[in-house]
């Protein structure tokens, strides 16, 4: 996180919208996205990745090799374990080639790696989303000491060298439930960026007429927060979270790359890239395939998030 | 103004103390017994006990923490060894003074950060500016598409690709080795070039997008229209009525990003094997060298927090609206 | 060459929108004599501001113009940005509606007037500073020597508009275009600014186009009136004709909407 800038850290996300309007209407966003060829390509690629993640066991049954099966016939032990054949051993049998040294099927590992990446990043997104929205709304709505406490915690977390700390904490914990730990650690340092925006927008919204009207008609605080304010934050939340997912995928891969993410033999894209480092001069495909999947997934999500943001901003400008 | 600065510095100390305490507690709880680690394989219970008492490990955790803080300010003694004033302890692995480890590694991290910052500012701001001026042309669309792509490349992937292409295949660059500038300026430049580029790409793309949108916003401001209605043109209107307002917010973001990098570009330094603070962090974590982990965490937090204050002060100087309100 | 200072003939402004090109100003013609004030009246969106911007070539991107705009017989329409620069602020200057957003927050008001003066007249900063102080005194900003070094946000709304007027007049233009200069101000301040504009106009002999949605304001300041509605010129004539004998229903409707002073007293 300290070394990977993400879009949402610097670019301000849409201002809160006027009451009554339906800015983030899912149908309009859908219409804009389906009209855009680039966005459509992103959706298509992401759909493939998600499909791979969901149906991993089924897919590897079709392709013939599981993620942990060694195939010593596919590597050349006399050359130090380099895959036989061109392009890292790509063949009808091993669609993406094999790992050097042990001959594990790369396609199967990519498919299972997608599972890890998607599960971890989506869970982290949900957890950060909930934490960021709830705490941000609390701070913005109640102000006073509640705001003071939450804001100071946010300052503290944002001043923290998150990457160093994440690595340190993950490396000193037992390896057992790594995915859960990854989600918790990523979310713990991720929520302030969302909460900061939500807090500011809640403050603006809390002063609006429709909120005062709701209060005047006897609504309780919680009702005001969830029925009046939350729906108006929908646009920002959608944009912030879509732009956050690629960041979390990158963070997970980065941590796995540094050797503190999911532990072998479980496959993860970052961890595959990490183990390819010592082989990249003799077997570049071992690096190129997970690298390309990671890049394309992050790119698709970033582009999509950007398109959604533009769609919502235009909607706000028009309303 | 002085009072404001003092209040901010007070806040800095509080945040740093919190970071310190938090890190200390977490590692105290999580880590294996440091005495056993220092002692090594040929160890007797007596030696462990003596190490414990020298390090003060037999005292309550908060007392130990107090000792740690006192060491930073006033220095402390480990048995017969005196550790002079900014004392961050000694590495469990090499017995080196942690403070001298930091100071010897810092120049590398600063070189990496400064070089990358120069690159990304130049590329990002100029690219964004050209895009804004040529808004809607193929140049703009291509540049912004590339920028989205650049934001999406994880830096270790980029680092490995560059290394493969430039070092292994084309052999136009040597493998980075962080030589001193004075020994061989050419090698120095060639060594740092890839780390600079790798770090700069992500930021440059981000800054290009930001600059573009800020400049476009500024060009539609009423005061820009006023400036045109006054008959201003050329460099003057661009500099005063477009760039100054558009770039001032970017200066503050830059301050924060740069401060973050001073604490070590962990991934980049590790991939390229540069002995900066980031690699020190990675190494110390791998070996569970607690005093060093503590020190790099604190140093990184120090840069971020101080960077925050500096940015606020600079912003006050750059934006007259803020300046007059706080006075 | 006619002795009219400023002539606009058949001015049409077309902007491109998402739904294709739209004429936001249609065949507008008017003249402004020396020493004369023309009032352009209309609701928001009637094309009156677009008319003003078209005169100086300040229309937003993608807008096209046709017709003729002449100052002292010189055609302005269709000239390049570079050709128009010596005219903007110098021969024709403009005062905008919102004085706060129309001034650059990053620079002192002195510098913002000075940069314009020196662009057109050259000279040293020191000499320009003296001119700026005089310009500020002319619009009755007290303590001009000190306030010249202050930033726009340190001025009140009325004072800011005075700064804008000082800026607009400091190169002694032959035509001043004031686009809703009092709309964003308090009522009492409005009156002061109007009085100031009228007075400065009579002492400097500048021709003026005064754009507003408020007929009451026009009646006190303009000799000629152009009424616009959704881009069309509805009625054009001397103030007397338009106010006493309006030819068009729309003008009558606007006139009826104006609160009379005697009405207010009666109620």
Identify the band that residue A27 occupies on the pLDDT scale cut at 50, 70 and 90.
confident
Chain B residue nearest residue A243, CA to CA = B152
Residue A74 is classified by DSSP as G
Instruction: Find the CB nearest B168 among A273, A276, A281.
Output: A281
Beta carbons of B134 and B221 less than 8 angstroms apart: no
Facing residue for A168 by CB, picked from B156, B257, B293:
B293
DSSP state of A79: G
A168/B199 touch (CB, cutoff 8 Å), yes or no: no
Determine, for residues A167 and B285 on separate chains, whether the beta-carbon distance falls below 8 Å. yes
Q: Measured between beta carbons, which residues in chain C are less than 8 angstroms from residue B240? A: 104, 106-107, 115
Enumerate helices (H) and strands (E) in chain C, giving the number of each.
Answer: 11, 10
Q: Is A261 on the interface with B (CB under 8 A)?
A: no
What pLDDT band is residue C261 in, cutting at 50, 70 and 90? low
The DSSP symbol for A72 reads G
CA distance B199 to B197: 5
Contact B141, B302 (CB under 8 A): no
Tell if the CB–CB gap between B151 and A159 is shorter than 8 Å.
Answer: no
Domain that holds residue B81: 33-87
* pLDDT digit string, tens, across residues A108-152: 888 888 988 889 999 999 999 999 999 999 998 888 889 889 988
d(CA B67, CA B60): 11
CATH assignment at residue A160: 1.10.3720.10
pLDDT at position B163, please? 86
Q: Please check whether residue B199 is in contact with residue B112, taking contact to mean a CB–CB distance below 8 angstroms.
A: yes
In angstroms, rounded to a whole number, what is the distance separating the alpha carbons of residues A202 and A229? 7
Chain B residues with CB inside 8 Å of A277's CB?
Answer: 160, 271
| Of B159 and A159, the one with more pLDDT | B159
Q: Which of B53, B87, B121 is the last residue of a domain?
A: B87
* Residue A273 with chain B: CB contacts under 8 Å: 156-157, 160
Q: Are residues B299 and B231 in the same domain?
A: yes
Residues in B lying within 8 Å of C, measured between beta carbons = 221-223, 225-233, 236, 240-241, 244-245, 248, 319-321, 324
Q: Does residue B108 form part of some domain?
A: yes
CB atoms within 10 A of CB C18: 5
Other Cβ atoms within 10 Å of C256 Cβ, number: 9
Q: Alpha carbon B127 to chain centroid distance?
A: 24
From chain A, pick out residues whose CB is under 8 angstroms from the CB of B273.
Answer: none
Arithmetic mean of pLDDT, A249-269: 83
A73 interfaces chain B, CB cutoff of 8 Å: no
> What Rg do the C-alpha atoms of chain A give, in angstroms?
23
- Chains with 3 or more CB pairs closer than 8 angstroms to C? B
B251 domain-assigned: yes
Can you give the pLDDT at residue C112? 94
Q: How many C-beta neighbours within 10 Å does residue C233 have? A: 21
- ipTM of this complex prediction, to 2 decimal places: 0.89
Count, residues in chain B:
327
Q: Are residues B110 and B81 in the same domain?
A: no
Residue C1's pLDDT is 42
> Which chain B residues are within 8 Å of C80, Cβ to Cβ?
none
Question: E strand or H helix at C208, and its extent?
Answer: strand C207-212
Residue C143, token pair as written in the block: 């303590």
Interface size B-C, in CB pairs within 8 Å, comes to 81
- What is the DSSP-derived secondary structure letter of residue C228? E
Residues 6 or more apart in contact with residue B219 via CB below 8 angstroms: B132, B242
CA distance A207 to A203: 7
Segments of chain B scoring below 50 in pLDDT: 325-327
Inter-chain contact A280–B293, Cβ cutoff 8 Å?
no
Q: Rounded to an integer, what distance in angstroms lies between the CA atom of residue B315 and that of residue B20?
A: 28
User: Between chain A and chain B, how many beta carbons pairs sit less than 8 Å apart?
Assistant: 136
> What is the Cα–Cα distance from B209 to C169, expressed in whole angstroms?
39
Count: domains in chain A:
1
Q: 3-state DSSP: chain A helix, strand, coil percent, rounded to 5? A: 70, 0, 25
142-161 in C: which are within 8 Å (CB) of B?
151, 153-154
List B residues 29-88 in contact with A (Cβ-Cβ < 8 A).
30-31
Instruction: Test B227 with C151 for CB contact under 8 angstroms.
Output: no
For the sheet with C37-41, list strands across it: C92-95, C175-179, C207-212, C37-41, C224-229, C232-238
CB atoms within 10 A of CB B119: 18
Residue-averaged pLDDT of chain A: 80
Does A27 map to a domain?
no
Neighbours of chain A (3+ CB pairs under 8 A): B
What secondary structure does DSSP assign to B22-52, as a single string? HHHHHHHHHSPPHHHHHH-SS--HHHHHHHH
**3-state SS record for B177-235:** CCCCCCCCHHHHHHHHHHHHHHHHHHHHHHHHHHHHHHHHHHHCCHHHHHHHHCCCCHH
Q: Name, of A276-290, B278-292, C123-137, the range with top average pLDDT.
A: C123-137
Distance between CA B150 and CA B139 in Å, rounded?
Answer: 16
C96–B225 CB contact, under 8 Å: yes
CATH number (domain holding residue B189): 1.10.3720.10
Query: C4-98+174-256 belongs to which homologous superfamily?
Result: P-loop containing nucleotide triphosphate hydrolases (3.40.50.300)
Instruction: Count the neighbouring beta carbons within 10 Å of the beta carbon of residue C23.
Output: 16
C116:B232 CB<8 A: yes
pLDDT at C252 over 60: yes
Distance from CA of C176 to the nearest CA of B (A): 11
Q: What residues contact C267, with CB distance under 8 A and at least 6 apart? A: none
Going by C-beta distance under 8 Å and a sequence separation of 6 or more, which residues neighbour residue C162?
A: C136, C139, C140, C141, C193, C196
CB nearest A299 (choices: B152, B160, B297):
B152
Is A6 inside any structural domain? no
Q: Using CA atoms, how far apart are residues C14 and C56, in angstroms rounded to an integer?
A: 15
**A85/A102 Cα distance (integer angstroms):** 15
User: Are B57 and B151 contained in the same domain?
Assistant: no
In angstroms, the CA B31 to CA B24 distance is: 10
Note the pLDDT of residue A82: 74
Which of 97-156 (B) contact A at CB < 8 A?
Answer: 148-149, 151-156
What distance in Å separates the CA atoms of residue C177 and residue C39, rounded to the nearest whole number? 10
In a domain, A178, yes or no: yes
DSSP B325: H
* Overall domain count for chain B: 2
Q: Is the pLDDT of residue C43 over 90?
A: no
- Report yes or no: C104 at the B interface, CB cutoff 8 Å: yes
pLDDT digit string, tens, across residues A94-106: 777 777 777 788 8
C89, C96, C106 ranked by CB distance to B244: nearest: C106
Angle at A95 between CA A94 and CA A98, to 5 degrees: 45
Confidence class of residue A12 from pLDDT cuts 50, 70 and 90? very low
Q: Which residue, chain included where needed, has tokens 């990158």? A: A250
Nearest to C119 among B231, B244, B320 (CB): B231
Query: How confident is the model at residue A13, as a pLDDT?
Result: 43
Identify the band that residue C262 occupies on the pLDDT scale cut at 50, 70 and 90: low
**Which residues of chain C neighbour B227 with C-beta distances below 8 Å?**
104
Same domain, B237 and B213: yes
Distance from CA of C89 to the nearest CA of B (A): 4
Tokens of A11: 């670019």
**Please, what sign has the CA dihedral across residues C101, C102, C105, C108?**
negative
Q: Which among C202, C200, C250, C204 is positioned nearest to C225, based on CA atoms?
A: C250
Q: Residue B248, SS3?
A: helix
Interchain CB distance below 8 Å, B320 and C103: no
Same domain, B169 and B279: yes
Q: What is the CA radius of gyration of chain B?
A: 24
User: CA of B252 to nearest chain C CA: how many angstroms apart?
Assistant: 16
pLDDT score at B265? 85
Instruction: Quote the minimal CA–CA distance from C74 to chain B in Å.
Output: 17
Q: How many CB atoms lie within 10 A of CB C206?
A: 23
The span from the CA of C207 to the CA of C220, in Å, is: 16
Exposed/middle/buried for B86, CB within 10 Å: 0-12, 13-18, 19+?
middle
- The one-character DSSP state at C213 is S
A252: nearest CA partner in chain B: B154
**How confident is the model over C79-115, as pLDDT tens digits?**
888 999 999 999 999 999 888 899 999 999 999 999 9
B153, B285, B287: best to mutate for the A interface, most A CBs within 10 A: B285
In terms of DSSP bridges, do strands C207-212 and C37-41 run parallel, antiparallel, or are they unpaired?
Answer: parallel
Mutate to test the interface with A, among B157, B161, B212, B251 (most CBs of A within 10 A): B157
* Least confident interval from A82-91, C70-79, C241-250: A82-91
CB atoms within 10 A of CB A169: 19
Q: What is the pLDDT of residues A175-234, one digit of tens each?
A: 667 888 889 888 999 999 899 889 988 888 887 888 888 888 888 888 888 888 888 888
Asked whether residue A1 is domain-assigned, the answer is no
Q: Does A159 sit within 8 Å of B305, measured CB to CB? A: yes
Global pTM? 0.84
> What is chain C's length?
267
* Strand C175-179 with C207-212, pairing: parallel
Residue A64 gets the label, from left (phi > 0), alpha (psi -120 to 50) or beta, of left
Domain of residue A75 covers 46-318
Contacts of B198 (CB under 8 A, 6+ apart): B155, B158, B159, B162, B268, B271, B272
**CA torsion through residues C145, C149, C155, C159, sign:** positive
Q: Render pLDDT for A60-94 as a digit per residue (tens, 0 to 9).
A: 777 777 777 777 776 777 777 777 776 776 777 77
The reply to whether omega before B293 is within 30° of 0 (cis) is no
In chain A, which among 34-53 make CB contacts under 8 A with chain B? Answer: none
Which residues pair with residue C8 across a beta bridge? C30, C69
CA A165 to chain centre: 19
- Find the farthest-apart pair of alpha carbons in chain A and give their distance in angstroms, rounded: 82
Does residue A174 form part of some domain?
A: yes
């Amino acid at each position: 996180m300290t070394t990977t800038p993400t879009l949402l850290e610097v670019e301000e996300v849409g201002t809160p919208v006027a009451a009554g309007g339906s800015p983030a209407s899912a149908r309009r966003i859908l219409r804009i996205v389906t009209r855009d060829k680039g966005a459509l390509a992103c959706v298509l690629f992401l759909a493939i990745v998600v499909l791979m993640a969901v149906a991993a066991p089924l897919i590897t049954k079709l392709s013939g090799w599981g993620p942990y099966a060694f195939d010593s016939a596919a590597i050349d032990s006399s050359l130090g374990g380099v895959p036989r054949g061109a392009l890292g051993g790509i063949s009808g049998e091993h669609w993406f080639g094999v790992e050097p040294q042990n001959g594990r099927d790369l396609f199967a590992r990519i498919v299972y790696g997608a599972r890890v990446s998607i599960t971890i990043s989506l869970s982290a997104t949900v957890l950060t989303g909930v934490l960021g929205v709830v705490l941000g709304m609390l701070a913005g709505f109640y102000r006073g000491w509640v705001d003071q406490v939450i804001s100071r915690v946010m300052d503290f977390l944002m001043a923290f060298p998150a990457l160093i700390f994440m690595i340190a904490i993950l490396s000193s914990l037992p390896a057992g439930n790594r995915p859960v730990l990854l989600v918790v650690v990523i979310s713990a340092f991720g929520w302030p960026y969302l909460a900061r925006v939500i807090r500011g927008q809640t403050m603006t919204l809390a002063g609006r007429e429709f909120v005062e009207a709701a209060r005047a008609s006897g609504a309780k605080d919680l009702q005001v927060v969830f029925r009046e304010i939350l729906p108006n934050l929908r646009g920002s939340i959608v944009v912030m979270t879509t732009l956050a997912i690629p960041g979390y995928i990158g963070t997970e891969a980065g941590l796995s790359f540094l050797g503190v993410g999911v532990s072998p033999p479980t496959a993860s894209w970052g961890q595959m890239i990490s183990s390819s480092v010592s082989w990249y001069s003799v077997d570049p495909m071992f690096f190129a395939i997970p690298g390309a999947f990671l890049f394309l997934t992050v790119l698709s999500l970033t582009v999509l998030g950007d398109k959604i943001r533009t769609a919502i901003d235009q909607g706000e400008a028009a309303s | 103004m002085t009072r404001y600065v003092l209040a901010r510095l007070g806040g800095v100390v509080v945040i740093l103390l919190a970071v310190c305490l938090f890190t200390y507690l977490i590692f105290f709880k999580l880590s294996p017994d440091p005495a056993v680690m220092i002692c090594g394989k040929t160890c007797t219970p007596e030696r462990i006990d003596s190490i414990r008492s020298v390090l003060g490990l037999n005292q309550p955790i908060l007392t130990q923490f107090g000792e740690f803080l006192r060491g930073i300010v006033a220095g402390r003694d480990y048995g017969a060894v005196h550790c002079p004033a900014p004392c961050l302890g000694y590495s469990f692995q090499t017995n080196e003074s942690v403070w001298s480890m930091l100071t010897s590694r810092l120049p590398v991290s600063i070189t990496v950060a400064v070089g990358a910052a120069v690159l990304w500012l130049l590329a990002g701001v100029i690219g964004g500016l050209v895009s804004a001026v040529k808004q809607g042309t193929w140049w703009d669309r291509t540049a912004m598409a590339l920028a989205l792509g650049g934001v999406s490349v994880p830096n270790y992937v980029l680092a490995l690709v560059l290394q493969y292409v430039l070092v292994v295949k084309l052999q136009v660059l040597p493998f980075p080795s962080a030589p001193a500038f004075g020994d061989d300026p050419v090698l120095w430049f060639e060594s740092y070039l890839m780390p600079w580029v790798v770090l700069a790409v992500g930021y440059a793309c981000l800054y290009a997008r930001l600059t573009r949108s800020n400049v476009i916003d500024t060009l539609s401001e009423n005061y820009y229209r006023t400036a045109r209605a006054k008959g201003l043109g050329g460099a003057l209107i661009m500099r005063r009525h477009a760039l100054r307002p558009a770039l001032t917010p970017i200066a503050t973001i830059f301050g924060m990003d740069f401060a973050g990098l001073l604490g070590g570009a962990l991934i980049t330094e590790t991939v390229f094997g540069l002995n900066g603070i980031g690699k020190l962090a990675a190494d110390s974590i791998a070996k569970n060298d607690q005093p060093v982990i503590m020190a790099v965490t604190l140093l990184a937090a120090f840069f971020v927090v101080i960077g925050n204050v500096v940015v606020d002060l600079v912003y006050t100087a750059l934006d007259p609206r803020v300046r007059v309100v706080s006075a | 060459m006619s002795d009219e200072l400023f002539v606009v003939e058949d001015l049409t402004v077309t902007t491109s929108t998402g739904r294709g090109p739209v004429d936001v100003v249609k065949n507008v013609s008017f003249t402004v004599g020396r020493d004369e004030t023309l009032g352009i009246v209309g609701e928001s969106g009637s094309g009156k501001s677009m008319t003003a911007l078209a005169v100086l070539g300040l229309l937003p991107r993608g807008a096209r113009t046709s017709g003729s705009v002449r100052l002292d017989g010189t055609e302005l329409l269709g000239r390049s940005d570079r050709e128009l620069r010596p005219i903007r602020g110098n021969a024709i200057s403009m005062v905008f509606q919102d004085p706060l957003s129309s001034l650059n927050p990053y620079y002192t008001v002195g510098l913002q007037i000075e940069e314009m003066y020196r662009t057109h007249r050259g000279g040293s900063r020191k000499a320009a500073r003296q001119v700026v102080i005089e310009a500020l005194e002319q619009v009755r900003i007290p303590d001009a020597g000190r306030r010249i070094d202050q930033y726009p946000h340190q001025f009140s709304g009325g004072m800011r508009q005075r700064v804008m007027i000082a800026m607009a007049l400091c190169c002694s233009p032959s035509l001043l275009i004031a686009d809703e200069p009092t709309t964003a101000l308090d009522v009492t301040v409005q009156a002061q600014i109007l009085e100031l504009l009228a007075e400065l106009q009579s002492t400097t002999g500048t021709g003026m186009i005064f754009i507003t949605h408020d007929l009451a304001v026009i009646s006190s300041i303009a000799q000629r009136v152009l009424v616009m509605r959704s881009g069309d010129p509805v009625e054009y004539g001397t103030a007397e004709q338009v106010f006493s004998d309006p030819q068009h229903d729309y003008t009558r409707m606007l006139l009826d909407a104006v609160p009379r002073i005697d009405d207010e007293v009666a109620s």
